[in-house]
Amino acid sequence: MNGDASSDEPPDDRTGSDSVDGAFTYNGGRVDPGESTNIRYSISETYLGDPVKIPVTVINGVHPGPTVFLSAAAHGDELNGIEVVREVAHDWDHSELCGTLVCLPVMNVPGFLAQERYLPIYDRDLNRSFPGREGSTSARRMAHRIFTNFIEPCDLGIDFHTSTRGRTNMLHVRADMDDSVVSRLANAFSSNVIIAGDGASGTLRREATESGVPTITVEMGEAHRFQRRLIDRALTGVASVLAEFGCHPDSSVHWPGWRTIIDDDDEKTWLRADAGGIVDMKQGRGALVEEGDVICTITNPFKEEDEVVTVEAPFTGLIVGVLENPVVYPGNPLCHLVGLSSDTLTALERERTAERSLADLQRN
Ligand SMILES: [Zn+2]
């Protein structure tokens, strides 16, 4: 199973596919059933003419089954997903895998090297450049090579992200819940929160889904960090998806305890600052706030009391995303608040009470 070859591809225009004999093929190589390969695949060239290569691990199981891609770091500074994809690729036992895993831990290599969100070439967003195109911009050419070789041959996929630098978010799934397979995938990932929507044009999940590869985005935590608790929860989600789609037929699908699906009709808002200043945030990621609870205060450099702006929750809900870098201009986002149904609220309160009791027990 572990024939870890490292290979380069010849420069022609053939692209990837999942062939009839069960082999996974991409431009320049193939991975047969029972084989696992680490590839450094060229998607562009630097100013020095050197290849820009992305790491890809293809694990083709002994048994037939779906081909699933796991991708991360389309935004170069969003690191949590990298560790999720690496652990699945290299720490898990794949001896009984049914199907194929295509693991893309770092898609935006130039951004990753610079520890920046965007491609550091005119600040292009790789995650608005899919499915890409030959003969187009540098970002679209890179997207095209990734998409045609490693995304299109798949049956479904999960793309991992974090919040933008300076903010953090709860682990949640973004998915087009009107698509039945995407919805099944989103539910199987076992997150508490799913935000429904088809995503912006050019994002990997939207373009992959439109090309017949149902895909969800997982958002988790903040940029520039490995956050172990979130990584472990995401690994549970991946295992649950692989169980749901028959890649690990002996495993079971995980239920997260409570679930809320936020769609366009639900109460949700990015609360924005109406004053510039320095923010004292009173609530953390995942906090449950009641209508009227103080979310934060914004003060000026002199902390003048008559100038303090207090921001309160406009409705009872869950803080899915929150500012971490405590400075704002008017209009900057403070937190992403979503409303919850009364059933979800009850389940969530029950879970929080149980967590508190467990923490008390462990302390005593
Ligand atoms: Zn991102």
pLDDT tens digit sequence for 21-58: 899 999 989 999 999 999 999 999 999 999 999 999 99
Longest dimension (CA), the chain: 74
pLDDT at residue 14 greater than cutoff 50? no
Interval between CA 118 and ligand 1 midpoint (Å): 9
CA 134-135-137 angle, to 5 degrees, is 95
pLDDT, mean of residues 201-224: 97
Interval between CA 140 and ligand 1 midpoint (Å): 17
pLDDT at 363: 77
303 backbone dihedrals φ, ψ, rounded to 5°: 55, 35
Interval between CA 237 and ligand 1 midpoint (Å): 18
pLDDT at 6: 44
Domains of the chain from N-terminus onward: 17-261 (3.40.630.10), 268-363 (2.40.50.100)
Segment (H or E) for 237: helix 228-244
Contact between 108 and 76 (Cβ < 8 Å): yes
Count of beta carbons in the 10 Å neighbourhood of residue 274: 12
Interval between CA 125 and ligand 1 midpoint (Å): 10
Q: Rounded to two decimals, what is the model's pTM?
A: 0.89
Per-residue pLDDT tens digits for 229-281: 999 999 999 999 999 999 999 999 999 989 999 887 677 788 999 999 999 99
Interval between CA 74 and ligand 1 midpoint (Å): 6
Residue tagged 């929080």 (tokens): 352
pLDDT, mean of residues 212-228: 96
- The whole-chain average pLDDT of the chain stands at 92
Interval between CA 153 and ligand 1 midpoint (Å): 23
Interval between CA 94 and ligand 1 midpoint (Å): 28
Would you say how long the chain is, in residues?
364
pLDDT, mean of residues 327-334: 96
Residue tagged 């769609």 (tokens): 263
Interval between CA 162 and ligand 1 midpoint (Å): 5
pLDDT at 2: 41
CA 17 to chain centre: 24
